[in-house]
């Protein structure tokens, strides 16, 4: 039996109703970003691996498809994330000295899905702000993420805030080998207290206590006060907690808020505040982002940067199905100026008008129309479709 029509695992087509939903969300979000001063960029689907993986760490390397360029002989990669490409454009091509706001939308491809319910070809859309190191940039990006989710129909998302600077400050005083540091990172992600106890043996007491305390520092606004009381009183940790508190206040009463100081999402990539949005009906974060000030350095300019992205395929996958608009079936008659004017007027008003081709009268149900143009007393009128 021929199975040439089958697609690879975790790769699928988007059929018309869902495709229009994705496109509608894309248009709405890009208009939203444009209204906030973000400029659209369209990076290529593939580029040299050295550029594509700059600053993204080992995790992105593992999910990037690679191939050999037949022209240069160099290794190329299919993008698994558009954010590093936007950072390259900001640092190397646009060369602005002040604030630069960029947005993008397009498919990315990954060797592995994020989980068993996700596709390997997300449709990523996001916004990035470059050139401002102050907390005001984080305020803007988190606020824009909330506006984007509202535009997508996601109501009352829960925002989870973290800061990799706390872990970095503790790790900097721990004198651990890279292997032990990597295992410590994994233990924190899994909130594995037994492993943390074992891995921090030999650290100075305040570092060991601080690292072991991180998994317990999650919850509401009281987490900041608990962190100040239980973590070392070092400037780097104080600054990180100040920034977390300030971003939390900027979210204010707009949406539910939690803090998690053991959440080190994108630790090898991010440099400060990290955040994610969760909502009822979505098993994992629907949008993620954070500050990544160090990525531009590899492109020749170290630029402050913060941003967020989301997968539009993921957005629609966890929302009730919505049937697209149905159209008006119009005859493919001979020269009839009145008919053509009526069709043009309907289309100008936003209606879908499908011209019926000869010999397909029996296929009317497949045209996804619920009305038809019928001539009544010499005038063309929209009537319910016969037999619908």
pLDDT of 93: 87
How confident is the chain (388 residues) per 10-residue block, as mean pLDDT?
83 92 96 98 94 72 93 95 92 89 97 87 97 96 97 94 93 84 86 88 90 93 95 95 95 90 80 94 93 79 92 91 85 84 94 90 85 92 81
For 158-278, CATH number out of 3.40.605.10, 1.20.1440.230, 3.40.50.300, 3.30.930.10 equals 3.30.930.10
Angle at 287 between CA 172 and CA 323, to 5 degrees: 165
Domains 1-154+288-324 and 158-278 share a fold: yes
pLDDT of 52: 86
Phi, psi (rounded to 5 degrees) for 70: -70, -15
Token output for 65: 């498809």
pLDDT of 388: 45
The DSSP secondary-structure symbol of 134 reads: S
By three-state DSSP, how is residue 173 classified? coil
Residues 1-35 pLDDT 10s: 677 789 999 999 999 989 999 999 999 999 999 99
CA-CA-CA-CA torsion sign (291, 292, 294, 300): negative
Q: Note whether 162 and 259 are within 8 A (CB).
A: yes
Buried b (16+ CB within 10 A) or exposed e, 298-315: bbebebbbbbbbbbbbbb
Cα separations (Å) of 7 from 10, 12, 196, 301?
8, 7, 43, 41
Q: Note whether 308 and 141 are within 8 A (CB).
A: yes
Per-residue HEC secondary structure of 47-71 comes to: EEHHHHCCCCHHHHHHCCCEEECCC
Query: Domain ranges in the chain?
Result: 1-154+288-324, 158-278, 327-384
Element (H, E) at 312: helix 312-317
The DSSP secondary-structure symbol of 318 reads: T
- 17 Cβ contact list (under 8 Å, min separation 6): 321, 322, 323, 324
Which CATH architecture best describes the domain 1-154+288-324?
Answer: 2-Layer Sandwich (3.30)
State how far the Cα of 181 lies from the Cα of 122, in Å rounded to an integer: 31
Q: Note whether 228 and 241 are within 8 A (CB).
A: yes
Q: Note whether 352 and 328 are within 8 A (CB).
A: yes
pLDDT of 224: 96
**Packing angle between helix 135-151 and helix 235-251, nearest 10 degrees?**
40
Place of tokens 């803007």: 140
pLDDT of 325: 78
Token output for 358: 């000869």
pLDDT of 58: 61
pLDDT of 364: 83
pLDDT of 253: 81
Cα separations (Å) of 323 from 14, 16, 368?
14, 9, 10
Compute how many other C-beta atoms are within 10 angstroms of the C-beta atom of residue 19.
Answer: 13
Q: Note whether 60 and 53 are within 8 A (CB).
A: yes
By three-state DSSP, how is residue 177 classified? coil
């Amino acid at each position: 039996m021929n199975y040439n029509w089958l697609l690879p695992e975790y790769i699928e087509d988007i059929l018309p109703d869902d495709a229009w939903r994705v496109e509608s969300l894309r248009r709405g979000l890009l208009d939203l970003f444009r209204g906030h001063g973000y400029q659209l960029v369209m990076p290529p689907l593939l580029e040299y691996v050295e550029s594509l993986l700059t600053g993204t760490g080992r995790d992105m390397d593992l999910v990037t498809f690679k191939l050999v360029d037949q022209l240069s002989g160099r290794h190329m990669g299919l993008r698994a994330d558009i954010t590093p490409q936007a950072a390259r454009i900001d640092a190397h091509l646009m060369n602005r000295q002040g604030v630069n706001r960029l947005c993008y939308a397009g498919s990315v491809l990954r060797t592995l899905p994020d989980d068993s319910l996700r596709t390997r070809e997300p449709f990523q859309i996001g916004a990035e702000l470059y050139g401002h190191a102050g907390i005001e940039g984080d305020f803007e990006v988190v606020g824009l993420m909330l506006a984007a989710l509202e535009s997508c129909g996601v109501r009352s998302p829960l925002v989870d805030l973290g800061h990799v600077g706390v872990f970095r400050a503790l790790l900097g005083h721990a004198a651990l080998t890279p292997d032990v540091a990597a295992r410590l990172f994994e233990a924190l992600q899994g909130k594995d207290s037994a492993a943390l106890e074992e891995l921090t043996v030999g650290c100075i007491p305040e570092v060991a206590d601080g690292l072991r305390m991180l998994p317990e520092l999650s919850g509401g606004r009281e987490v900041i006060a608990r962190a100040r009381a239980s973590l070392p009183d070092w400037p780097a940790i104080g600054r990180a907690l100040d920034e977390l508190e300030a971003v939390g206040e900027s979210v204010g009463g707009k949406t539910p808020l939690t803090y998690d100081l053991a959440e080190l999402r994108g630790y090898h990539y991010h440099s400060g505040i990290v955040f994610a949005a969760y909502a009822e009906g979505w098993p994992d974060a629907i949008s993620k982002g954070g500050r990544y000030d160090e990525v531009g350095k590899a492109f020749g300019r170290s630029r402050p940067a913060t941003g967020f992205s989301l997968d539009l395929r993921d957005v629609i996958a966890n929302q009730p199905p919505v049937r697209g608009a149905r159209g008006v079936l119009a005859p493919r008659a001979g020269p009839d100026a009145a008919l053509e004017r009526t069709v043009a007027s309907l289309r100008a008003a936003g209606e879908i008008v499908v011209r019926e081709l000869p010999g397909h009268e029996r296929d009317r149900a497949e045209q996804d129309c619920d009305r038809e143009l019928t001539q009544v007393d010499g005038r063309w009128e929209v009537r319910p479709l016969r037999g619908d």
